[in-house]
Amino acid sequence: MTQSIEKANVHFMDSTCIDFNSGLVAKTQQLFEKADLKGCFKKGDRVAVKVHMGEWGNTAYLRPILIRVIVDKIKESGGKPFVTDTTTLPYYTIASRQTAEDYLITAAYNGFTEETMGCPIVIADGPFGLDDVYMDFSEGIVLDETYIAKAIAEADAIIAVSHFKGHDWGVYGGSIKNIGVGCVSKRGKTILHMCLHPKVGIKDWKFDGTFCKGKVCEEWTVCQNLCPAEAIEVLEDQLTYDLDKCIGCLACCELVYKCSIRTMPKEWYEYTAIGMADSASAVIKYLGKENVGFITFGIDVSPSCDCGQFADRPIMPNLGVFASKDMVAIDTAALDMTMQMRGIVDSLSEEKGALDSGTEKFTLVSSEKNISQWIQINVCDELGVGTKNYDLTLEPVSKEWWQFCFPKYRDLKKPPSYYFRKYFADNPLVPPKGFKWKAKPRISVDQLSKR
């Protein structure tokens, strides 16, 4: 492997908070400035704010306010933001973001609407996830091509806002995964997940249909109907596949876990981690490195992806917020920081032997096959879309707290209580006879303090 020499800047603020201006919302705004993310776009540019708005039932995805303040910063800087993500492959049998229509409903349940974001929300690969732009990528480590979601390919710039956490197949999910998987269409996702790969693809996974209980299973109609290519049939006492029909959509992959019908080989996981990073590198090359900026939140570090319909308890304490113009440096900095952290007792960190600092948390906790957590960054560094060499700047908290308060009152002229002067004059807060209290609590504080 070639080793890059140039260093990239990564700006960081930790997740501790003692006052208004050191909260995550304030720090997000400060880091946008510190990392000069407005330098990724020009006045009037259409800026894709690439986020993951959470699967139905997931609770670890980023809170909408963290995205909204970035949208506001882009507007202040003259950009024209739109919040965006792409439809998914059917990784889960009842996944809620497989079409644009379903995704927008899910996003609204999770708090992302045009009103809350203050800008349009665009599902970048269109109604069914096939609106894309082809890109030859023969320089890839395992990919030769990819399919970039159309609305992202047509944007002038991207600000990728990522939730840093574990990922079952990519080992961890950060900026590279957000770009590599999240900015491509269903075709792009099919190819990076190696679905029809001639060596490690679905058709070569070990299959045993006798693990299926057949039609006595109360869920058999779901399994019978989930394959869009009609390649699956549930018989009386087992399940059969017609693999000649398979188009590699991954809709049946939950059966792998749930019923052990199929077995994914270790190489599939390895190739997929490489494929994600190849795909991210292709997107960066297409958009131009200078047009893409990154903010990554190392908070609620769950062991699995936000594509899951649930989120397990975090495996380590919150890290904080990172910002950079380099996709590889920001992920490397976050990964390096997790090496220093201790895992959380009674989380999967303890179960998987990753409590101590110095352990590769995601390799041990998130990857079923202990695939290395370093694959993604090595691929992207090798392809020259960023560097593993970075300088981490621990940014001080701004003392100008008013710059980060509720926007309406940032000029510090009249705080909200001022506006109650007239209202309280006409509608007194205190009732005419005053409020009533007991002189002291009817039950003693001592008594109320016992378990």
List 247, 256, 344, 392, residue binding ligand SF4 (CB under 6 A): 247
Task: Select 190 or 376, whichever has its Cβ closest to ligand SF4.
Answer: 190
User: At closest approach, how far in Å is the CB of 279 from ligand SF4?
Assistant: 19
Range 151-186 burial, b when 16+ CB lie within 10 A, else e: bbbebbbbbbbbbbbbbbbbbbbbbbbbbbbbbbbb
How near is the Cβ of 263 to ligand SF4 at its closest, in Å?
Answer: 14
Q: From edge to edge, which strands make up the β-sheet containing 157-163?
A: 121-123, 80-85, 46-50, 157-163, 292-298, 320-324, 8-14, 390-394
β 239-241/232-234 pair status: antiparallel
Minimum CB separation of residue 133 from ligand SF4 in Å reads: 24
Q: Which of 42, 63, 80, 213 binds ligand SF4 (CB under 6 A)?
A: 213
**21-34 b/e with 16+ CB inside 10 Å = b?**
bbebbbbbbbbbbb
Least distance CB 267 / ligand SF4 (angstroms): 18
Q: Does 251 bind ligand SF4 (CB under 6 A)?
A: yes
- The C-alpha torsion from 12 through 15 and 21 to 26, rounded to 10°, is 70
- Residue 230 or 400: the one with the smaller Cβ distance to ligand SF4 is 230
Assess 392 for contact with ligand SF4 (CB under 6 A).
no
Residue 227 touching ligand SF4 (CB under 6 A): yes
Q: How far is the CB of 231 from ligand SF4 (least distance, A)?
A: 4
> What is the spatial distance between Cα 415 and Cα 259, in angstroms, rounded to a whole number?
60
Q: To the nearest 10°, the Cα dihedral for 379, 382, 386, 390?
A: 100
Q: What are phi and psi of 298, to 5 degrees?
A: -90, 70
Site for ligand SF4 in 252-281 (CB under 6 A): 252, 255, 258-259, 261
Q: Which of residues 136-155 bind ligand SF4 (CB under 6 A)?
A: none
Smallest gap from residue 98 Cβ to ligand SF4 (A): 12
Among residues 181, 191, 250, 323, the one that binds ligand SF4 under rule CB under 6 A = 250
Residue 258 and residue 363 in contact, taking contact as beta carbons nearer than 8 Å: no
Q: Which residues of this chain interact with ligand SF4, rule CB under 6 A? A: 202, 212-213, 217, 219-220, 223, 226-227, 229, 231-232, 234, 239, 241, 246-252, 255, 258-259, 261
